[in-house]
Amino acid sequence: MGELRYWEDFHVGDETVHGTHEVTEEEIVRFAREFDPQPFHVDPAEAAGGPFGGLIASGWHTAALHMGMFVRSQLLQSASLGSPGVEELRWLVPVRPGDVLTARSRVVDTWPSETNAGRGTIVGEHELVNQHGEVVMRMRVRGHIARRPRPGR
Amino acid sequence: MGELRYWEDFHVGDETVHGTHEVTEEEIVRFAREFDPQPFHVDPAEAAGGPFGGLIASGWHTAALHMGMFVRSQLLQSASLGSPGVEELRWLVPVRPGDVLTARSRVVDTWPSETNAGRGTIVGEHELVNQHGEVVMRMRVRGHIARRPRPGR
């Protein structure tokens, strides 16, 4: 795993590619049956005649797929303290079975907490890009992360 | 199911309670192992000594739980055309095993599409409230919805 990364180790402009994931019909339907059972997410036959001309992934599934890659690539090696929220999230292009999605992130802002000397905030712009080079999802998410422990503090 | 609801049937100020859901440790860990395997989401023992003093649900799981109730209560009975995105999402209070969450929504804005005469946008403010009355998540989400078909158009 290497050294744990703290708030001080992230800088505006840092870019990271987290990984790729091939989306299957099975996982689209499985997620949507539990969390978003609209016909165009769960029923391939009905979806074919629906507004997207076929089955597409729930937007919440798409966001979760990004998170899975981001956590395994970066957050597990960082002193993460969770997230207070998302500034904006856009679903730009439908995600379909067989799509191969690449997750990437860029640090767009950082600041130390005014109320908690042990913590800072990082704002990341996160994107998922499909095999055609289209950005299918873009979001700006705030993350809390521990500051590097200092001797004597 | 009754009559399908169209864009014209939603009005600013409309409030709906969608349902309640009791969160289990099993589902918190199952979701997070796939999509957000941070220790405070997947490992009860390590979570006990972590920043939240116990296991908490992934924020993406929390959002998906809201969506499940919202879709079953309202969206399946509406002419939904998907969502272009989220204006803002805040995770305000940790969600823990045993929490009973109630999902509710309020229409805060609506407008017809300028480019597509068959569609309008609805902005909903969505909240999840726990058994203590605390709002654990709040978000403003845009939805596309078909306009009511008119004879002769």
Q: How far apart are CA B42 and CA B34, in angstroms?
A: 10
Inter-chain touch A35–B89, beta carbons under 8 Å: no
B1 pLDDT more than 60: no
pLDDT of A1-32, one tens digit each?
568 999 999 999 999 999 999 999 999 999 99
Q: What pLDDT, on the 0 to 100 scale, is given for residue A150?
A: 82
Q: How far apart are CA B85 and CA A122, in angstroms?
A: 22
pLDDT of B21-67, one tens digit each?
999 999 999 999 999 999 999 999 999 999 999 999 999 999 999 99
Q: What pLDDT, on the 0 to 100 scale, is given for residue B151?
A: 75
Q: Are A23 and A98 in contact (CB under 8 A)?
A: yes
The predicted model gives A118-122 an average pLDDT of 97
A153 pLDDT more than 80: no
Smallest CA–CA distance from B84 into chain A, residue: A91
B85 pLDDT more than 90: yes
Q: How many A×B Cβ pairs under 8 Å?
A: 98
Number of residues in chain A: 153
User: Mean pLDDT score of chain B, rounded to an integer?
Assistant: 96
The predicted model gives B73-95 an average pLDDT of 97
> Chain B partners of A76 at a C-beta cutoff of 8 Å?
37-38
pLDDT of A51-92, one tens digit each?
999 999 999 999 999 999 999 999 999 999 999 999 999 999
Q: How far apart are CA A103 and CA A112, in angstroms?
A: 26
User: How does B89-126 read in b/e, with b if 16+ C-beta sit within 10 Å?
Assistant: bbbebbbbbebebbbbbebeebeeeeeeebbbbbbbbb
Q: Report the helix count and the strand count for chain B, using DSSP H and E.
A: 4, 5
Inter-chain touch A80–B34, beta carbons under 8 Å: no
CB contact A111 to B (< 8 Å):
no
The predicted model gives A107-114 an average pLDDT of 97
Inter-chain touch A88–B87, beta carbons under 8 Å: yes
A152 pLDDT more than 70: no
The predicted model gives A87-116 an average pLDDT of 98
B3 pLDDT more than 90: no
Local confidence band at A151 (pLDDT 50, 70, 90 cut-offs): confident
CA distance to partner chain A, nearest, from residue B76 (Å): 6
